[in-house]
Amino acid sequence: MALDLRADPIDLTAALVDVPSESGQEAALADMVEAALRADAPHLEVVRNGDAVLARTNLGRPSRVILAGHLDTVPVNGNLPVRREGGHLHGLGTVDMKGGDAVFLHLAAAITEPKHDVTFIFYDCEEVDAARNGLGRIERELPDWLRADLAIVGEPSNAVIEAGCQGTMRVQLKVRGQRAHTARAWRGSNAIHGLVEPLRRLAEYHPRTPKIDGLTYREGLQAVRVHGGVAGNVVPDEAVLEINHRFAPDRSPAQAEQHLRQVFEGFELSVVDISPGALPGLDAPAARELIEAAGGQPVAKLGWTDVARFSALGMAAVNFGPGDPALAHTQQENVAVSDITQVAKVLRSFLGG
């Protein structure tokens, strides 16, 4: 089966959804994307890198825009093949993020003389460990393909421009005690009972909602895992709480860590992983043009996405894609076709094809 990039982005979304592409198994879809770009967009320079496909114009424009979308999905969950019902497409990847991919592929073929030079990146392994993310490999092997003034990541954003992104950090809080037989519990010290105080601080925590460049971010502090215990008759000597902190991009990772150390003062805390946020960066000219084309006020991105990777490379970066991000990774994943049409319309106006 070949993809027809000249088809309506809605039909193109459906075609992409029906090629399964769980992380690590994107080869078939990447082959089709590569063949379609070579056939339907002969004005673009196309390269293949692993299971990522990259394509760009080289028109000497004063500015360059990246349109990036991952090709992979989470594992199938009884939600294939695609199903169209009323104004919605249902199925795995309709939201996360083959709708965005379809719009970008459509534009790759449709707009031969864009106002900005454009780099299209369709990449692999976004839904798994950050170390496997195809963008990291591209950064190592094809760094000049990641130079631009603005990156638009097609992750679902309800067809609204989401700017910047919050940082995310996971820490482990360990409470220690002393083992004893539960029949003589007073000889020990119960580490699980010792979770009362850190859990109380968590439950009573009031997250900040800072306003940055006119966008309101909403931080969060949540226990995501707890475990402890030795045996059914032993006073446990260790209990571990794993906590996820989402922090607005006005704080660096170091500042966010310092904040958590204050919140949990008196407790043993270690950082499991940490990803910086990205400031909105909406004063870049290309970003301003995009917002104008969208005709609306951008909103703050609360989750962490690859926007932060582009931001770290020194360009403005936003999320802009069809679909409700709250439906991503759910079995009921579905996208309003009007979102697909809206994103395509805004980007066509922005790129001026």
User: Does residue number 153 form part of the binding site for a copy of itself (CB under 8 A)?
Assistant: no
User: Does residue number 223 form part of the binding site for a copy of itself (CB under 8 A)?
Assistant: yes
Site size toward a copy of itself (CB under 8 A) is: 48
User: Does residue number 284 form part of the binding site for a copy of itself (CB under 8 A)?
Assistant: no
Q: Within 263-282, which residues bind a copy of itself (CB under 8 A)? A: 272
What's the DSSP call for residue 22? B
Q: Which of 302, 345, 348, 349 is close enough to bind a copy of itself by CB under 8 A?
A: 302
Reported as half-sphere exposure (CB side, CA atoms, 13 A), residue 253 has a value of 13
Q: Which is nearer to a copy of itself, 122 or 320 (CB)?
A: 320
User: Does residue number 158 form part of the binding site for a copy of itself (CB under 8 A)?
Assistant: no
User: Does residue number 230 form part of the binding site for a copy of itself (CB under 8 A)?
Assistant: yes
Q: Within 203-222, which residues bind a copy of itself (CB under 8 A)? A: 203, 218, 220, 222
Q: Which of 78, 86, 232, 295 is close enough to bind a copy of itself by CB under 8 A?
A: 232
Distance of CA 322 to the CA centre of its chain: 14
**CA-CA distance, 20 to 255, in Å (whole number)?**
41
Q: Which of 25, 49, 244, 349 is close enough to bind a copy of itself by CB under 8 A?
A: 244
Residue 126 annotated in active site: yes
Radius of gyration of the chain (CA): 23
Q: Closest distance between a copy of itself and the C-beta of residue 248, in Å?
A: 11
**CA-CA distance, 84 to 13, in Å (whole number)?**
11
Query: What mask of x and - would describe binding to a copy of itself in positions 159 to 198, judged by CB under 8 A?
Result: -------x-x-x----------xxxxxxx--x-xxxxx--
278 by Cβ neighbours in 10 Å (0-12 / 13-18 / 19+) ranks as buried
Candidate segments 48-56, 104-112, 148-156, 199-207, binder of a copy of itself by CB under 8 A: 199-207
Q: Within 4-43, which residues bind a copy of itself (CB under 8 A)? A: none
Residue 72 annotated in active site: yes
* Per-position DSSP letters for 160-205, written without gaps between them: S-EESB-EEEEEEEEEE-B-EEGGGGGGSB-TTGGGHHHHHHHHH-
45 contacts 58 by C-beta, under 8 angstroms: yes
139 by Cβ neighbours in 10 Å (0-12 / 13-18 / 19+) ranks as middle
Cβ-based neighbour number of residue 235 at 10 Å: 23
User: Does residue number 128 form part of the binding site for a copy of itself (CB under 8 A)?
Assistant: no
User: Does residue number 319 form part of the binding site for a copy of itself (CB under 8 A)?
Assistant: no
Query: What mask of x and - would describe binding to a copy of itself in positions 96 to 115, judged by CB under 8 A?
Result: --------------------
Candidate segments 6-14, 112-120, 200-208, 339-347, binder of a copy of itself by CB under 8 A: 200-208
The tokens for 327 are: 């439906």
- Active-site position among 126, 127, 155, 162: 126
90 contacts 333 by C-beta, under 8 angstroms: yes
Q: Residue 29 forms beta bridges with which residues? A: none
Q: For the chain, how many residues are written?
A: 353
253 contacts 281 by C-beta, under 8 angstroms: no
- Active-site position among 72, 117, 127, 339: 72
Max CA pair span of the chain? 80
Q: Closest distance between a copy of itself and the C-beta of residue 100, in Å?
A: 18
Cβ-based neighbour number of residue 261 at 10 Å: 13
For residues 159-181, one letter each, b for 16 or more C-beta atoms within 10 angstroms of the residue's C-beta and e for the rest, the string is bbbbbbbbbbbbbebbbebebbe
User: Does residue number 332 form part of the binding site for a copy of itself (CB under 8 A)?
Assistant: no
Please state the φ and ψ torsions of residue 38, each to the nearest 5 degrees: -65, -35
Q: Closest distance between a copy of itself and the C-beta of residue 343, in Å?
A: 21
Q: Which of 6, 147, 176, 225 is close enough to bind a copy of itself by CB under 8 A?
A: 225
Binding site for a copy of itself (CB under 8 A): 166, 168, 170, 181-187, 190, 192-196, 199-200, 202-203, 218, 220, 222-236, 239, 241-242, 244, 246, 272, 302-304, 325-326
Q: Return the active site residues.
A: 72, 126
